[in-house]
Chains A and B, each alone.
Chain A
C-alpha cells in the first residue's frame, strides 16, 4: 500500500514539476463534447505546435473563427499523413463546416482531402500546397520562392557577394525544403565568388543543426556564412557559431520570435517572415464567405502571400509572425 501511495505521489510531483511556471491553459479543443450543428464547426489541423510557427498559425485561425461565431476543433498531425487522414475522418464524422489544413505531404494528403470533399466539407489549405488542384477550395501559401529570393539576396549582401558558405536544408521529404533551397540558389548561384562548401539536411531540428554545423565548421574553417532553411536550424547553427567563437553570418527563414529576438541582439543577421497569422485569417475568412454563399467562392484556388524580410531595421515591429505596418 505504502508503495502505491509513493508511486502516486511521485507521479503527481513529476507533473507539478513539469508544469512549473506554466500558466497558460493546455487544452487545444474548444469544441463541445457532443456533435454540434453541421454549420458551426471549423476543424483546424496543423503540424505540431512545438514549432512556434504552427502555434501562431493555429492560434490565429482559432481566434478568427471564434470571432466569426464558429466553434473550433484544433488538431495536430505531427507531419504524419496517416494521423492527418484519421483527423480528417474525425472532421467528417463531426460534420464540420470547413477544414483549415496545413497538410502533412503534397501527395500523401490528396486522398484524405478528396474524402472530405466527397463528404461536402470544403478544405482550405494554408502554408503548404498539395500536388493537385480542384480538390481543396483554396491553397493559400506564403510565397516561399519569393521569400527565399529575399533571404538569398540579403545573405549575398551580408556576405559582400563573396566567400565560402554552408547551407542547412530542411527535411528532404518536405516540399518547402526544396522550394526554399532553390530560391536561395536562384540568387546565390549568380555570384561566382560565393562558394557553397557544404550542404547538409538538419531535418528542421535545432540540436541536429548544432552538431552538423560544428562538424561543417571543422571541415571548412574558412566559412563566412550559413544560410538555414528555417529558423530553428538557424538557432542551432548560431549556437555552434557562438561556441566556436567565430564571426559568421547566419540567416534563417520563418520570422519566429526567438530569431527576431536574436536579430535585435545582433546575433542572427536576418530571417524571412512568413505571414502565418495573416494566412490563417485569410483562410478562415474565405471559409466563412464560402459557407455563407452556399458553397461558392470568388477567389482563385491558388493564392500566394508575399513574405517579408526581417533584419535589424524592422525587427522591432515584428511580433507573432506579423509585421506591424
Chain B
C-alpha cells in the first residue's frame, strides 16, 4: 500500500532540470530501493522528501494527504527521518549526547537531563540490537558501522514512519552490513517505510522489496524486486547491456615486475609476512574485509608506511629506501582508496592535479613551461576520456568517476611499471566503473602490472587474472580466474583456519 508519494515532481537548479516530472511511490512497511548512476536525481528527490529542498512543481502525498515539507523539521514532525551518506555525528561527544544533539531533554526547563537521555538512548540501542553499547561511549571511539547505527538511532528517537537511507553501507564491512540489514528488516516488521539508496547491486537485492531506477533525472523503471535480476537493473541504469560492464584482461603474461617477500608492518591493522608477485600483463586482485590490512599493504609498498621487515623488488631490483620518492622512481604508482582525502588537491585545477607528481619535468631553466604542461595534461585527458569543463576548472567540479581518472592520470604520468589501485571503483557510478575496468585491462595489455584492491566480489572475480585474499594482515588464499568462486573468497576472507593455506 502506498504511503509516501511524490506526484509529478520536478526540480530546477538555475537553468538545469535535476528532476523531470517524477512520480515515485514508497510502500508502507516495505524496503523501497532507489538506484541510479551518480547524477540520476536520487539524492535530489530524497532532499525534497526530507524537506531540505522544495520542488519546483508537483506535490508530496503522505498517507493519502497532500503535505508541504517546508523544512527538515517539518518533515521530521510528520515522521520522515533521513540518514545521510556522510555521517553528521560529533566524534567528541558521547552516543547519548549525539542522539539528543540540538534537542536535549530538559529538566526544570533549563538543565540537560542526562539520566533521561541515557535511558532513552539505551532503549533505542536495544531496538538496534546494540544492548551492550554504553551510551557514554564517545562516538569517535566506535567503528564506522556502529557510528552508522547511532545515526539511525537518532532518526528512531522521533516517532519515525518513513526512514530514508542514502547509501548507508558505502563505508561498512560485510558484517556491519548484515547487522544493518537485520535492523532494516526489524524496522520493516514494525511497519516503518524504508527508502534505501544504494550502488551495491548484490547488497540491495538481499533486502529490497521494491526497486526504482533513475536515469538522467527521470524515473525509468519501478518493479517488485522478485520480478527483477541484476542484469535487468543494470540495463535500466545504464541503458545498455551489463555484459560489457567488465572487460577481462587476456593479455599474455611476461616477466615478474613486482616481487614482495616477507613484508611485515606493525600497527593496529598490521601486515604480517606478506609475499606476492605481479607480472607484466597481469591484473592481480586483492580481496578482503575492511581492516584486513589491504590498504596498509598498498601504502607500505608505496613507501607511505615503514616496513619492519621484508623486501620489495621492482623489475628485479631491490628497492631498499622505502620512501615514496624512491618507490615512485623505481616504478610504482598508487591510486588511493579515498580520493578526497589522499588523492586530490581540492584547491587546485584539473591540470595541476594531473601534473602534480611530475611537475618538475615541465621546466625550462628552472621555470615551468605552461605550454608543455598544457599539452601533457590535454593528452592525458584525451587518453582517459576525462569529462570536465576545462583544464583550468577546479577539480571538485568533476564527477566522482572523472576525479578518479584525474588521480589515475597523475599516477600514469610517473611512468610506473606496476600500478597499485586501492578500491578503484568505490563511489563511482556503473558507467565509470566499466571505463576504469577497461582501462586496467588495457594497461595490462600494454605490459604494465596491475595490483588492485576490491571489496566487491563480482568485480574482483570479473576483473582479476589472479585473486589474493587477505585476512588479519596475511594472505590466506590465492585463486586463478579459472578456479575462483564467490564462496571460496568469502570463506578465505573470514576464516582464520586457512592461514596455513598460503602457498
- A and B: direct contact (Cβ < 8 Å)? no
B residues with a Cβ closer than 8 A to A are none
Q: Which residues of A does B touch, CB under 8 Å?
A: none
